[in-house]
């Protein structure tokens, strides 16, 4: 009953579409113009992606840290490793560059050799005062040597902050205005004035300036994402149109299909603007995804139209059947694909949720576009010529289909053996998959800013901040001698970890104060003894400048202190080891009943976020499998058919996971998407095949073998076409400079190709081997929705033509 109502609905839909062609085209044009007007509302992400929910405890700790000490990711660093720097001309030009940078309103403060301050004791006023390290403009090499020798040998406070003593690398630290560091102003400044200054300096001096820091890295990475959107769209259009033309040999069909997906891309950008979602590394993939997923819709509809024209040559009847017979099937396949993406909506991750919403809406949107535009445009055109229909009898496609039929008929045991071997091997590979919590792993390895990241890791032990917040639970408790010693002890443990940089904290300032108290003698760079502490700290408290310095390390109440270190880019396992080691020392040094100490910082935040996403991956994939299983059960009303249909779709996912393990491709935010995307798309082939199989069963009086081979021959061509388009369509992502995008494209492509083979070889093999179990009335019940209704080609065409009048 439901199936008949469904057929009636689609027949009525076909009549409405073909009778209101002009009105529908005008409506589509109006919607497209409206979507185009939303483009100016699109926003590009200016902050680091937060993968954790807003109310997650780790996220709340990080937000509390930002409240107490301000934005941690506002520091940029410049460095030069070149002995020619220590000549008057170049040294003074380096100092001039610092002055030029600091002159911009976007910059709060610059710490460099130009304005480096030395802490000295004023014996008259009994205070510490800050004096410039560089007085005036040095004019001789001897003056510069004196300055650098004093810096390298007598000011340990600045070691690893301003200089590397061993390599004589000099660094400048640039603090951006915290209010603009997560806005578009940051991007405009860095890509504009800041980059111009650096380029001019390099041109004048011939020296190579290394630049890094989170604001700079995020800006350059975001710009790479923006640059790649256009590249992906053009590549996807180019590849899919070439393949489409190769299959159909029709410029007209190719142009119509390109028109459909181009409008789909315009809608995708419009929805991003309408919802005011930021364009991130994930949402940037949606426009090319729409192209890749939209082309199979065009293939099914145009292929059906040409088949109908070849059968009876009646355009009106052919167009009606395209809508009424293929519309339902295309809707079902698009719904399952959209379901794969929509499962991300249930996650608490804003990044994935936005991606899931926009992707699923646009997949359904491209279905509407293809169903409306293709039949309407063809209705204004003459019938396809014979040369346009030749592809329907392509011999090499027929050879491929015959090969599959032969495998299914004669090599089923080999198919099962290979499938089991793949399953076992893949499970072994799955146990070797790592989780990547590195925020820079997916960044373009060949980009200069990435090479600079590696430079700073080598010279200064990392660029990703790790913050340890120590709450003494007592106002002004930070400067108590006992607490300073505890922080110094923890700092010594941090130094012992090779992947972490020398920590910076109030301890260093207190040590520097003692050195200054003893007239700058380097050996006194240490914490005061209990006897020294009283008068040294008294001098420190009398020093206004020293109080300003304290603000960077201690909160306004003097109760909470921060210890900042920087981590190199290490694998997740090592990162967790470092976190565990630090936590062990923290628990030992700071008893929980007297102190509250927690670790935070963007490096650890990203690690926790990635692990959180992995848990969500399992949930979203399980939901996708469950939803599609329910959908299949609703369609076929057979538990056995649900199980059989899931096998050829789950096996490719397991194989892909195994390949990731063996190839060393880790689970990370980008590769997490592979499984849900691939499953949502690959199940389309299963629906098409099983729907045709059920249809053939009824037509062939429940003869399993005849029905399987007929379904295989009928659906094999379209499934092959769409799988090839999807394979090469997703393959365009391998041109990306982002490692995660490359992995996503190659893994989805490989999964879909294997899924096609599984659906065309393993699925029919299972149906034949289990024919006694499934060849019963349970399978043959009238489905709730008839995906591919049986066509009565002997029915009077006059009746259908009458409907079109």
Note the pLDDT of residue 93. 92
Neighbours of 456 (CB within 10 A): 22
Which one-letter DSSP state was computed for residue 479?
Answer: T
Residue that the structure tokens 């249809």 belong to: 695
Question: CA 364: distance to chain centroid?
Answer: 22
Residue 789 confidence (pLDDT) above 60: no
∠ CA 418-420-426 to the nearest 5 degrees?
Answer: 100
Asked whether residue 91 is domain-assigned, the answer is no
Mean pLDDT taken over the chain: 81
Listed residue (59, 38, 48, 702) closest to 440, CA to CA: 48
736-766 per-position pLDDT tens digit? 877 777 888 888 888 888 888 888 888 888 8
Integer Cα distance of 253 and 234 in angstroms: 19
pLDDT band per the 50, 70, 90 thresholds, residue 197: very high
What pTM did the predictor assign? 0.73
Asked whether residue 523 is domain-assigned, the answer is no
Asked whether residue 563 is domain-assigned, the answer is no
Asked whether residue 278 is domain-assigned, the answer is yes
Residue 719 confidence (pLDDT) above 90: no
What DSSP element (H or E) covers 477?
Answer: none
Number of domains in the chain: 1
Cβ-proximal residues to 715 (8 Å cutoff; 6+ apart), any chain: 685, 688, 689, 692
Residue 576 confidence (pLDDT) above 80: yes
Question: In the chain, count of helices (H) and strands (E)?
Answer: 31, 12
pLDDT band per the 50, 70, 90 thresholds, residue 394: low
Note the pLDDT of residue 23. 93
Residue 32 confidence (pLDDT) above 90: yes
Q: Are the C-beta atoms of residues 125 and 176 closer than 8 Å to each other?
A: no
pLDDT band per the 50, 70, 90 thresholds, residue 727: confident
Residue 63 confidence (pLDDT) above 70: yes
CA distances from 319 to 304, 323, 389, 426 (A): 9, 7, 16, 46
Integer Cα distance of 443 and 222 in angstroms: 10
Report, as an integer, the average pLDDT of 428-440: 79
Asked whether residue 438 is domain-assigned, the answer is no
Asked whether residue 225 is domain-assigned, the answer is yes
Note the pLDDT of residue 7. 62
Tokens of 447: 């980009």
Report, as an integer, the average pLDDT of 123-127: 70
CATH number at residue 773: 1.20.1640.10
Report, as an integer, the average pLDDT of 205-211: 92
CA distances from 562 to 108, 222, 270, 359, 484 (A): 20, 30, 44, 42, 12
Asked whether residue 620 is domain-assigned, the answer is yes
Neighbours of 140 (CB within 10 A): 10
By DSSP bridging, strand 43-44 and strand 278-279 are parallel
Asked whether residue 784 is domain-assigned, the answer is yes
Note the pLDDT of residue 635. 67
Q: Provide the domain limits for residue 324.
A: 2-47+220-383+392-431+606-789
Note the pLDDT of residue 436. 72
Listed residue (596, 547, 562, 592) closest to 65, CA to CA: 562
Note the pLDDT of residue 512. 84
Residue that the structure tokens 């181009």 belong to: 262
Residue 400 confidence (pLDDT) above 80: no
């Amino acid at each position: 009953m439901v199936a008949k109502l469904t057929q009636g609905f689609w027949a009525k839909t076909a009549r409405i579409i073909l009778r209101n062609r002009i009105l529908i085209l005008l409506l589509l044009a109006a919607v497209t113009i409206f979507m185009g007007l939303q483009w100016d509302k699109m926003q590009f992400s200016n902050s680091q992606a937060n993968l954790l929910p807003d109310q997650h405890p780790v996220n709340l700790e990080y937000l509390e840290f930002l409240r107490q000490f301000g934005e941690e990711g506002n520091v940029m660093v410049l460095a030069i490793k070149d002995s020619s720097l220590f000549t008057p001309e170049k040294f003074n030009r380096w100092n001039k560059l610092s002055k030029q940078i600091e002159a911009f309103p976007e910059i709060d403060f610059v710490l460099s050799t130009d304005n480096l301050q030395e802490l000295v004791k004023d014996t008259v006023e009994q205070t510490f005062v800050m004096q410039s390290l560089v007085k005036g403009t040095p004019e001789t090499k001897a003056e510069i040597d004196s300055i650098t020798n004093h810096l390298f040998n007598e000011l340990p406070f600045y070691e690893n902050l301003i200089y590397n003593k061993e390599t004589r690398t000099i660094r400048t630290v640039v603090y951006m205005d915290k209010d603009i560091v997560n806005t578009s102003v940051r991007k405009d400044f860095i890509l504009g004035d800041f980059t111009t200054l650096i380029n001019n300096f390099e041109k004048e001096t011939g020296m190579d300036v290394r630049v890094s820091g989170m604001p700079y890295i995020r800006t350059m990475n975001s710009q790479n994402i923006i640059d790649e959107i256009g590249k992906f769209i053009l590549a996807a259009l180019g590849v899919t149109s070439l393949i489409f033309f190769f299959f159909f040999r029709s410029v007209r069909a190719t142009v119509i299909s390109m028109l459909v997906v181009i409008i789909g891309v315009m809608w995708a950008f419009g929805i991003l603007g309408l919802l005011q979602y930021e364009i991130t590394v994930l949402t940037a993939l949606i426009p090319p995804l729409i192209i890749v997923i939209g082309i199979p819709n065009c293939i099914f509809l145009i292929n059906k139209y040409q088949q109908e024209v070849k059968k009876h040559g009646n355009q009106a009847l052919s167009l009606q059947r395209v809508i009424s017979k293929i519309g339902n099937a295309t809707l079902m396949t698009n719904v399952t694909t959209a379901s794969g993406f929509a499962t991300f909506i249930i996650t608490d991750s804003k990044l994935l949720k936005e991606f899931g919403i926009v992707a699923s809406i646009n997949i359904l949107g491209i279905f509407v576009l293809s169903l409306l535009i293709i039949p309407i445009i063809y209705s204004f055109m003459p019938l396809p010529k014979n040369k346009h229909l030749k592809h329907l009898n392509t011999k090499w496609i027929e050879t491929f289909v015959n090969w599959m039929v032969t495998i299914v008929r004669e090599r089923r045991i080999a198919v099962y053996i290979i499938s089991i071997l793949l399953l076992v091997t893949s499970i072994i590979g799955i146990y070797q998959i790592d989780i990547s919590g590195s925020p820079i792993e997916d960044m373009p390895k060949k980009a200069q800013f990435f090479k600079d990241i590696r430079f700073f890791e080598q010279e200064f032990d990392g660029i990703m901040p790790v913050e340890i917040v120590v709450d003494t639970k007592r106002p002004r408790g930070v400067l108590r001698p006992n607490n300073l010693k505890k922080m110094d002890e923890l700092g010594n443990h941090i130094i012992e970890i090779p992947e972490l940089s020398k920590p910076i904290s109030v301890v260093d300032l207190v040590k520097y104060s003692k050195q200054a108290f003893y007239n700058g003698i380097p050996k006194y760079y240490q914490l005061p003894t209990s006897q020294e502490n009283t008068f040294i700290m008294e001098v420190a408290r009398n020093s206004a400048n020293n109080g300003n310095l304290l603000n960077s390390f201690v909160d306004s109440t003097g109760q909470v202190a921060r210890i900042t270190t920087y981590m190199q880019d290490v694998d997740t396992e090592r990162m967790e080891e470092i976190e565990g080691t630090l936590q062990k020392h923290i628990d030992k040094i700071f008893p929980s009943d007297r102190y509250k100490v927690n670790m935070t910082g963007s490096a650890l935040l990203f690690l926790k976020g990635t692990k959180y996403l992995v848990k969500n991956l399992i949930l979203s994939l399980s939901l996708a499998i469950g939803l599609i299983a329910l959908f299949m059960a609703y369609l076929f009303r057979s538990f056995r058919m649900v199980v059989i249909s899931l096998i050829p779709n789950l096996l490719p996912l397991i194989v892909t996971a195994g390949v990731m393990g063996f190839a060393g491709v880790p689970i990370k935010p980008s590769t997490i998407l592979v499984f849900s995307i691939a499953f949502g798309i690959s199940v389309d082939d299963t629906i098409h095949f099983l729907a045709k199989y059920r249809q053939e069963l009824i037509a062939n009086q429940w003869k399993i073998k005849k029905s399987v081979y007929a379904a295989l021959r009928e659906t094999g061509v379209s499934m092959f076409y769409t799988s090839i388009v999807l394979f090469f369509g997703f393959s365009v992502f391998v041109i990306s400079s982002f490692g995660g995008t490359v992995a996503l494209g190659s893994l989805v492509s490989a999964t879909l190709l294997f899924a096609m083979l599984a659906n065309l070889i393993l699925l029919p093999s299972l149906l034949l081997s289990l024919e006694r179990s499934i060849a019963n009335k349970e399978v043959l019940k009238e489905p709730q929705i008839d995906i591919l209704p049986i066509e009565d080609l002997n029915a009077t065409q006059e009746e259908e033509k009458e409907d079109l009048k």
